[in-house]
Amino acid sequence: MNLKAFHNIYFIGIGGIGMSALASYFYAAQKAVSGYDKTPSDITKILELSGIGVNYVDHVKNITSEFLDASKTLVVYTPAIPHSNSLLTYFKANNFTVLKRSEVLGLITKDTFCMAVAGTHGKTTTTSILGHLMKVADQNMTAFLGGISENYNSNLIQNGHQVTVVEADEFDRSFMTLSPNFACITSTDADHLDIYGNKESLKQSFLDFSNNITADGQLFVHDSLSMQGTTYGVESDSDYAAINIRISNGIYQFDLKTPSALYKDFKFNLPGQHNLSNAVAALAMALSFGCPVEKLYSGLDSYRGVKRRFTYKQKNDSFVFIDDYAHHPKEIDAVYQAISEMHPAQSITAVFQPHLFSRTQDFVEDFARSLSVFDAVLLLEIYPARELPIKGVNSAWLLGKITAPIKKLVSKETLCEAIKSIDYPVLVTMGAGDIGTLVEPLSKNLMYA
């Protein structure tokens, strides 16, 4: 299929992080772009300010006439949209070309040198580091990110079209539409069991994805995975490794061991061993592509992270407020490790909003174990996203299994007062639901905590 044949691109679920990056990409390519989403958000506001039309009513009468020409309009939708959506039903019934987001991404990357990052954790940060490194190295590239880059205030980095850097999403097996030249797999921990059924099926999907790599391509794998490929890690014997790690003023300094050389004194601003591992993966891919190492030094030093990935909202001698997207037990573990390393011996209040009834049910014991290490835990109700409730699965059930010294179920309205009453020096908010909308108001209200 030739995407250039379409003048109009209509997105159903345009406010999604992956969808909005595609919308911005097509808009920059001088296409007419519009879309629907259920509710306004920071992302839809940014799209509207750029000139992209966004509709919040699920009815075809709210779509402008130019997008109702089936011969000129491509319709893109996200799997998170229910099949009952009336717009999706209309477009399918009226002979429009309708594609999933992942299928469109596959078509965009098909005729480029594609560098894809997959994994149940770490793929957004790794992709954004790699995209930034490639941009600083002045490569002819476009990067599609699964989060908002702090460096660019965008989920799209553009500097040409010969290379694409993409986040390869395992949800709904979306990454199977890609045929990358370079691929990275950061982790294969059990997740999305509502899609895969069991962890073995999930792991098999990553193997299937790795088989999509081009014949002359290269697979980069974290050294904890039993997969064949170029390995990377931290303080390990892997092909690429961060060694001689130091922390100075909250900043990592390390040497990078590669199969052919040792590069000393890289600097990296993101806390946590998991983020250091992500940096090594991105450096390995950029070096293998041929980026000049001197550009990679400056690129890594200037990298500022992804919004809601260990983002400091406040940081002073008396109070630290960190916000993170963590929504899986392994990710919560990584956040705790990073806080403990950067702010040792400090009491921590964790605010957590579980994401999905199915994920909470599948990992309730692991969530309880991960959250119990904090000094205080405040739980919000489960964010349902695309799911209907599951009987007996709720935050009170999870709370009963947590053994933290202080634990409490709170509402959004009572959250701020609960935090103030505990008054610990470190606060972290975690979750993939709408907890992100609470962060700025919380930060303002806690400014003098």
pLDDT for the residue numbered 248: 85
If phi > 0 it is left, if psi is from -120 to 50 it is alpha, else beta; for residue 249 that is left
pLDDT for the residue numbered 201: 82
> Do both 189 and 274 map to the same domain?
yes
Is 105 a domain residue? no
pLDDT for the residue numbered 197: 67
- Among the residue ranges 13-17, 41-45, 78-82, 261-265, the one predicted with the least confidence is 78-82
Task: Please say if the pLDDT value at position 195 is more than 80.
Answer: no
Give, for 304, the enclosing helix (H) or strand (E): none
Cβ density class 185-197: b for 16+ within 10 Å, e for less: bbbbbbbbbeebe
> Do both 224 and 287 map to the same domain?
yes
- Alpha-carbon span 275 to 273, nearest angstrom: 5
pLDDT for the residue numbered 249: 80
Is 107 a domain residue? no
> Do both 92 and 172 map to the same domain?
no
Give, for 366, the enclosing helix (H) or strand (E): helix 364-371
Q: What is the pTM of this model?
A: 0.85
Higher-confidence residue of 112 and 205: namely: 112
What's the domain count of the chain?
3
Using DSSP's 3-state secondary structure scheme, residue 403 falls into coil
Domain boundary among 268, 301, 334: 301
- Among the residue ranges 83-87, 261-265, 345-349, the one predicted with the least confidence is 83-87
Using DSSP's 3-state secondary structure scheme, residue 308 falls into coil
Using DSSP's 3-state secondary structure scheme, residue 261 falls into coil
> Do both 323 and 296 map to the same domain?
no
Mean of pLDDT values over 183-188: 93
pLDDT for the residue numbered 376: 98
List, for residues 138-167, the tens digit of each pLDDT value: 999 999 999 999 999 999 999 999 999 999
Q: What does pLDDT average to over the chain? A: 93
List, for residues 283-319, the tens digit of each pLDDT value: 999 999 999 999 999 999 999 999 888 899 999 889 9
Return the bridge partners of 257, or none: 241, 262
List, for residues 209-246, the tens digit of each pLDDT value: 999 999 999 999 999 998 999 999 999 999 999 999 99
Domain boundary among 251, 281, 301: 301
> Do both 343 and 262 map to the same domain?
no
Task: Please say if the pLDDT value at position 449 is more than 60.
Answer: no
Return the bridge partners of 266, or none: 254
Task: Please say if the pLDDT value at position 394 is more than 90.
Answer: yes
- Among the residue ranges 29-38, 167-176, 343-352, the one predicted with the least confidence is 167-176
Domain that holds residue 66: 3-100
Domain boundary among 52, 77, 100: 100
Mean of pLDDT values over 106-113: 94
- Alpha-carbon span 217 to 256, nearest angstrom: 23
The CATH code of the domain that includes 437 is: 3.90.190.20
- Alpha-carbon span 158 to 137, nearest angstrom: 13
> Do both 289 and 343 map to the same domain?
no
CA-wise closest residue to 128 among 159, 161, 101, 166 = 166
> Do both 285 and 139 map to the same domain?
yes
